Each structure stands twice: as structure tokens, then as C-alpha cells.
């Protein structure tokens, strides 16, 4: 059964006081640019003039995709489980970035086609497998409805458990060979953007591989028969998603319900956020869009969510790397809101009316 969520939009009554606090800091008006927007968002999400960021954690959700074996990716499916083990060994980019940023990291087996029983006791591993990979969406829906609902429920359970442990910032990353193709199909179904425009090179396809990927995804879209731009979000997720995408959707919804800030990584994570926001629109207020992916479909998802990402570094690695890189900016925004003196506190004269 699909969980229900109670996500409250921020209280608009707090907005004027929060804006006054930001504007009264010892700086020219709006001179901290996007950091001021971040500080405002954090305060509104927590319904507080003094928001606190507690026990931030990056979650990397991993899952396999049945369509990967049809040639939608440049890499074989085995890379998914191999990278999960690399994460647990501390050898991936996300490990380096989380260590630098002071982010705790957990790796979630949402549906990898591999036996991880030998690492069940690893402190950074969370066993939540729904099934060993999805079905091939070229032939049938990727997930049965009960499988999708279970993945959403397990993601929600994880976020609620972390909230009970006083975590109020969740970063989202993913690993799954073929999951940029899933994100492309979800983006097309939910935004109405042309499928070819939503489809990129993923993990490094050459021109011939990209042409093949586009043809395969067109077949999948035709089989599913969803009305592009008008599809039900759960239909799109079940038809094309992965267990890692569905589990992220549930974790985002429960995280927003708990008032957490959600650090949204690139294309695949944003596709999960789009599904979640279509189900519960107030979720968007809790999402910090951390970077613009080099994958072309990300632009359509960002536009659909009216989102302007913090960074644009040409990244397309996934794993949560863009979210980890953006996290220090979020922390800095809250730090200036809480720790920077106001003009009156510091005895500094404010700009006079009409001054330059």
C-alpha cells in the first residue's frame, strides 16, 4: 500500500520577519545573492528565524535496470554492484567529496542484482532490496505497482528513522547502470519535453550508442502509451523507474514531511523529486537543487519545477557528487543568518535613503 504523507507548506506569516533579519545584516542589501535565498529557504522550511542544520547525511540509493542489458548504457550492469562495493570501500568520488564536506554517507541497496550478505554489517550499508533489479521496460512495466509502493514505503521509513535520530538534512545520490535512460523517460512523460531532447549520453555513449539509446527509449515510450506531459506520476514511475528512483521518491516525501532540507543532486535525483512534487506539490519548498547536470533532460525537469540550481560545473557523474559539493554553500547560508551581526548589533550605520 502506498504511504500517505502530510507535507505542510512553509508559513507565509514568517516571511517578512525572516526577510528583515537577512536584510539587516552588516552588508549591502542583497549583496550575498543566492546565499540569501538559501538562508530564507532554510528558515521557511524549519519555520524558524534561527534554523539549525543537524546531522546531515548523504544517501546513495543503488538499483539495477532490466533495460540496461538491451544497450541503453555504455557500461555493463555489473558496474552497479561493483560501484556499491567501491562506495563501501571509500574509493569513489562521493566518498572523497563527503569527507571533504563533513557529510555522513550511507549506501542503500534498493534493488541491485547482487548478493551483499557479506557486507550487511558494514556501518555505511543499508539493506533495503525490493528485488534484484527491475523488469525490462522495453517489454513490460519496470515495476509492478506493489513493488513500486514497497520501494516508496522503504524510502519513507528510512527518512523517518533518520529524522527520529535528529537528522534534518538529507542529500540524495544514486547508482544504477541505465538509470539516466529511466530519468529521460520519466522527464518526457511528466514534462512533455521531446524524448530526444531528454536523452543524453549517460555514462559516456558515443554517437552510435546515443542513436541506439534514443531508438530504444522511443520503443519503450510507445509501448507504455502514456500521454507525454499529462502522465500520472506513479504510472510514469512504475513504467520506467528503478527501485532506487522510487525509494528516493519515498525518502524525499517523508523528509519533507519532517521539515528536512533535501539536497537534490542531478538528473536522476531530480526525476525522483519531480515525481514526488507531482504527488505532493509542497515538497518543492524543501528541495535545494544543487547543480545543473550536463545531461540534456535535466533542464526540462528543472524548468518543470521552477528550479535554479546552485552550481553549473558540467557534472554528469551522479552518486550525489553535485549535492556534496553544494552542501558547504547551504551551511554557509545558515551560518550567516545565525552568526552575522546586524547593523544595530554592530553599531554600524545603515545606508541612508537615496544613497549610492
The residues annotated as belonging to the active site are: 319
Phi, psi angle pair for 5, to nearest 5°: -130, 150
- CA-nearest of 318, 356, 273, 300 to 29 is 356
Q: Are 142 and 239 in contact (CB under 8 A)?
A: yes
Q: Are 199 and 309 in contact (CB under 8 A)?
A: no
Q: What is the helix (H) or strand (E) element at residue 80, kind and residue range?
A: helix 78-89
Q: What is the helix (H) or strand (E) element at residue 210, kind and residue range?
A: helix 207-224
Instruction: List all residues 6 or more positions away from 127 whose beta carbon is below 8 Å from its beta carbon.
Output: 109, 116, 120
The DSSP result for 269-327, as a single string, is: HHHHHHHHHHH-GGGGGGEEE-B--SSTHHHHHHHHTT---SB-S-----TTHHHHHHH
Instruction: List all residues 6 or more positions away from 2 whose beta carbon is below 8 Å from its beta carbon.
Output: 149, 152, 153, 234
**Whole-angstrom Cα distance, residue 63 to residue 116?**
13
Amino acid at each position: 500500500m502506498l504511504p500517505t504523507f502530510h507535507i505542510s507548506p512553509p508559513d507565509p506569516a514568517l516571511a517578512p520577519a525572516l526577510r528583515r533579519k537577512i536584510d539587516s545584516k552588516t552588508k549591502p542589501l542583497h549583496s550575498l545573492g543566492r546565499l540569501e535565498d538559501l538562508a530564507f529557504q532554510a528558515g521557511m522550511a524549519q519555520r524558524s528565524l534561527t534554523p539549525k542544520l543537524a546531522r546531515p547525511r548523504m544517501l546513495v540509493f543503488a538499483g539495477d535496470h532490466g533495460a540496461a542489458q538491451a544497450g541503453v548504457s555504455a557500461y555493463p550492469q555489473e558496474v552497479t554492484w561493483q560501484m556499491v562495493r567501491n562506495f563501501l570501500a571509500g574509493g569513489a568520488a562521493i566518498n572523497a567529496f563527503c569527507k571533504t564536506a563533513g557529510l555522513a554517507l550511507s549506501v542503500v541497496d534498493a534493488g541491485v542484482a547482487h548478493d551483499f550478505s557479506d557486507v550487511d554489517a558494514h556501518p555505511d550499508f543499508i539493506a533495503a532490496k525490493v528485488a534484484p533489479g527491475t523488469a525490462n521496460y522495453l517489454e513490460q512495466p519496470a515495476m509492478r505497482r506493489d513493488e513500486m509502493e514497497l520501494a516508496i514505503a522503504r524510502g519513507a521509513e528510512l527518512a523517518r528513522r533518520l529524522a527520529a535520530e535528529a537528522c534534518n538534512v538529507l542529500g540524495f545520490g544514486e547508482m544504477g547502470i541505465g538509470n539516466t535512460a529511466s530519468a529521460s523517460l520519466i522527464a518526457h512523460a511528466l514534462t512533455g519535453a521531446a524524448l530526444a531532447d531528454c536523452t543524453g549520453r549517460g555514462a559516456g555513449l558515443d554517437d552510435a550508442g546515443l542513436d541506439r539509446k534514443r531508438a530504444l527509449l522511443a520503443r519503450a515510450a510507445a509501448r507504455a502509451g502514456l500521454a507525454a506531459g499529462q502522465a500520472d506520476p506513479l504510472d510514469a514511475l512504475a513504467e520506467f523507474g528503478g527501485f532506487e528512483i522510487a525509494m528516493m521518491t519515498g525518502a524525499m516525501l517523508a523528509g519533507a514531511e519532517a521539515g528536512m532540507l533535501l539536497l537534490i543532486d542531478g538528473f536522476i535525483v531530480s526525476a525522483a523529486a519531480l515525481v514526488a512534487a507531482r504527488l505532493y506539490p509542497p515538497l518543492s519548498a524543501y528541495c535545494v537543487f544543487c547543480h545543473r547536470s550536463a545531461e540534456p533532460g535535466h533542464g526540462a525537469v528543472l524548468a518543470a519545477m521552477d528550479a535554479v540550481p546552485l552550481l553549473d560545473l558540467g557534472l554528469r557523474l551522479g552518486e550525489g557528487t553535485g549535492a556534496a559539493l553544494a552542501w558547504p554553500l547551504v551551511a554557509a547560508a545558515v551560518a550567516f543568518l545565525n552568526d552575522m551581526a546586524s547593523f544595530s548589533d554592530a553599531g554600524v550605520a545603515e545606508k541612508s535613503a537615496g544613497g549610492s
